[in-house]
Structure 1
Amino acid sequence: MPFKSQFFVFEGIDGSGKTTVSKKVSEILSTKSISNLWHREPTDSIHGQKIREFLQGKIKLTPDEQLKLFLLDREFSVNETILPTLKSDTCLVQDRYYFSTAAYQGRDEEHAADILYMNEDKGFPEPNRVYFLDLSPEEALERRNTRGGNKEAFDDEKEQTRIYQNYLAILPESTIFVDATADLEEVVNFCVEDILLSLSLKT
């Protein structure tokens, strides 16, 4: 059945499971013959690579330098992946978008809103659906500690609390809040069902 391509974004603080969930959602959509591409930001562009080096503690960046890199990487993402994909009748399932930049780089809720408007003013395409995998900073910290690995720039619980509060302030009213404490299969199936509704493939 033909359908118009749509743009689905997954957001959440570190440890909420958005990367795992978004990848599984993309895989299930493919099994249902729904053409889609899984994509993430930061990208693998030169700007995205610098961002990842910063997140991993390999280089230092001022807040202004961080924001500049995120905007440059997003322009690359939009022009090289997002717009071409949507124009090719292929859905996009994306791990992080400009809501992440606003939440993470915003000093407080007001500054986060300013960063959001900065992205919107650049004319970046709006997603059809935003899924926020809702998990408290305390629970997210537990998950990150359990899975191990190297600490990243925003791993501190105080930072994650700031980010969580910024998210709540800037996410659009239409955002679908998903209980990230639920069973993984349940979370994935919920998102898939909602995407099928959005594509008018399920009533």
Structure 2
Amino acid sequence: MSKNSQFFVFEGIDGSGKTTVSKKVSEILNSKSIPTEWHREPTESVHGKKIREFLQGKIKLNQDEQLKLFLLDREVSVNETILPTLKNGNSIVQDRYYFSTAAYQGKDEEHAADILYMNEDKGFPEPNRVYFLDLSPEEALERRNSRGGNKEAFDDEGEQTRIYQNYLAILPDSTIFVDATADLDEVVNFCVEDILKSLS
């Protein structure tokens, strides 16, 4: 992986703003002539679509079935998007990666760590930077309620608290914690500046 093609991952609980922030960051990098692909997991693969159906409450999946689908979808993600993009000399800004799977599908902190190792054992590439958009489960719930829309599988505040604690247990020491309560432009600019530093 060249210094000009790096892998940046955005993580956070539901409502933390990762999709919005990561998309804006990607747009700004491209506007600065830094070829960047915005990517997200779950993907649009057959496995990713099944995961989305589960998240929307259309189908039921137990924890093992969820985990199996996430791993299959990630293989598609890595082999068809992440590795080819980096090989072509472009960077990736990604909304969710294996830290999400560990945090969401982990029953507790220990199980979350096991899921993380399972992903690492598969040889999935390690990101250059991980940004965690830090927002308390209570604040995230308020945000999700205010934006409306259908409830999803992990919307319950108790679930979000479990996920948040799992994240804190498994995120790498190098993770950059970003205050997700700050102004959107401030959050985006902070991340862009940090990525430019990493690329320089």
Name the SS for the 1:43 alignment partner.
Answer: coil
Residue 3 of structure 1 deviates from its aligned partner by 4.7
Counterpart residue number, 2:181: 181
Q: Alignment length, in residue pairs?
A: 199
Distance 1:3 1:71 in 2: 28
Counterpart residue number, 1:164: 164
Residue 147 of structure 1 deviates from its aligned partner by 0.2
- Which residue identity lines up with residue 163 of structure 2 in the other structure? I
Residue 4 of structure 1 deviates from its aligned partner by 2.5
- Which residue identity lines up with residue 72 of structure 2 in the other structure? L
Name the SS for the 1:39 alignment partner.
Answer: strand
Matched, 1:122 2:138: no
- Which residue identity lines up with residue 152 of structure 1 in the other structure? E
Please give the root-mean-square deviation of Cα atoms over the aligned residues, in Å.
0.8
Counterpart residue number, 2:93: 93
TM-score after normalising by structure 2 = 0.99
Q: Deviations over 1:23-72 (max 9, x none)?
A: 00000001100000000000000000000000000000011000000000
- Which residue identity lines up with residue 16 of structure 2 in the other structure? S
Q: Which aligned segments of 4 or more residues in structure 1 are displaced greater than 3 angstroms?
A: none
Matched, 1:81 2:49: no
Name the SS for the 1:104 alignment partner.
Answer: helix
Counterpart residue number, 1:24: 24
Distance 2:66 2:3 in 1: 38
Distance 2:62 2:115 in 1: 16
Counterpart residue number, 1:105: 105
Distance 1:198 1:133 in 2: 18
Name the SS for the 1:16 alignment partner.
Answer: coil
Distance 2:91 2:142 in 1: 33
Counterpart residue number, 1:34: 34
- Which residue identity lines up with residue 24 of structure 2 in the other structure? K
Name the SS for the 1:14 alignment partner.
Answer: coil
**Identity across aligned pairs (percent)?**
87
Q: Deviations over 1:105-151 (max 9, x none)?
A: 00000000000000000000000000000000000000000000000
User: What are structure 2's unaligned runs of at least 5 residues?
Assistant: none
TM-score after normalising by structure 1 = 0.97
Counterpart residue number, 1:142: 142
Distance 1:142 1:91 in 2: 33
Distance 1:34 1:72 in 2: 30
Counterpart residue number, 1:194: 194
